[in-house]
Structure formats: C-alpha cells, structure tokens
Structure 1
Amino acid sequence: MRPGRYLLAMATLLFGMMAVPAHAATIQITTTDLVFAPAEVSARVGDTIEWINKDVFVHTATALNGDFDVAMPTNKTVTSILKKAGTVEYYCRYHPNMKAVLTIAP
C-alpha cells in the first residue's frame, strides 16, 4: 500500500471511530377519549414507546401479530422498547374500536 493510501485509510478509520452513534428516540402515544394519538407512528428498532393513558378507562395496546400486549392503567405511563422491525397494527382489548398502526424501521 502506498503511503498516501495508508494515511487515507487511517484517517477514515479514525473518523469512523469518532462518529457519534445514533441514539434511540422516545415516542409518546397517548390514549384520550377512547383514541390512540397519534393513530399512525413511525419508529425504529431500539426506540422507546411511552404509552400514556390520560383516559378514565384502563386500556391495552395489543398487537394483532402478537408482538406486544401492553397494559395501560388509568392515568399512568408505561414504557416498552421496540425490538423488531415491521408494520404492526394494534388495538385495545377492552375497546376494540381503538385501533392504530406502528411502523418500525430496522
């Protein structure tokens, strides 16, 4: 390897080591008046979802494909970390008319 290429390779390696890794985001999904808000959310694997129940009823966020089933007590916040990519439709087991979609990128 020529000296110029060696220096370029070393500089590239050092720059790559200094790059700041992407941090996971925290995304809030709220239940109010028997509705998930927002009804459509985009996230990434590793992101945290804060399920905030501001309703007077207990709710769940239950994935149709079985990926998650989160119980949300009244006036509480529950967190979960996204572990799998894909588009997940979910609903409340107690109020099946409450529906939403979570799109999770790798």
Structure 2
Amino acid sequence: MIRKRSLGALCGLTLMLTAPSAWAETIRVTIEKLVFSPAEISAAVGDVIEWDNRDVMAHTATAKGDFDIVIPPKKTATLTVTKAGTFDYICRFHPNMKARLKVQ
C-alpha cells in the first residue's frame, strides 16, 4: 500500500515538472537614444510587453489600429498581448523609431 502511494506521488510530481507552464512571460524592451532594443521580439497571447524608457523624452509604442502605449521619460509602461499576429510599431513622436512584435 505504501509503495502504491509513493509511486502515485512520484508520477504526479513528474507530471507537474514536465507540464508546460501556464504563466505569462514578461518581455522587456529598452528605449534608449531613440532606439527600441531589441527591435524585434516574439511573444505569446497573454504575455506582457514592458517598455523601459531610459530617455529624457516621452515615447510611444504605436501599432496603428492595435495599440498605442505612451511611455513617459525615465518610466516603464506595459501591454498585455491579446491577439496573435505580427505588429510593426513606431513611436508617434519619433517615427524613425521602429520595431516589430510577433505574437503566436
């Protein structure tokens, strides 16, 4: 009887350790010297994108029709990804700042 319980507990532990995680990931993008870094990121639906603006001016992460996040100077801002696709985004204030978000 003890042996069956131990085996059951071991199997349960094995399943817990090998099962995929249901936790969302936080993907960080740094903004510094008018550049998104990295310029291309991949995420899954439910993940959080966090932009860390290290510049002394405000920026945005804007994908026309999909999201428009304002990131104040020396602050962070986040977006929870809600749909799959490829999203090219820019800073509305500095349109030469470009990046891409790929969501599976």
TM-score by length of 2: 0.80
Map of 1:1-106 to 2, 5 A cutoff?
19=19, 21-64=21-64, 66-105=65-104
- Offset at 1:80? 1.3
Which segments of 5 or more consecutive residues in structure 2 lack a partner in the other structure? 1-10
- Offset at 1:42? 0.5
The runs of 4+ residues in structure 1 deviating greater than 2 Å are: 17-22
Alignment-mate amino acid for residue 38 of structure 2: P
Q: Once the two structures are superposed, what CA deviation does each residue of 1:11-67 show, in whole Å capped at 9, x if it has no partner?
A: xxx97x954542110000111000000000000000001111001110000003x11
Give the alignment's Cα RMSD to 1 decimal: 1.9
CA–CA distance in structure 1, aligned partners of residues 39 and 79 of structure 2: 17
TM-score by length of 1: 0.78
Give the secondary-structure state (helix, strand or coil) at the position aligned to 1:69: strand
Which segments of 5 or more consecutive residues in structure 1 lack a partner in the other structure? 1-13
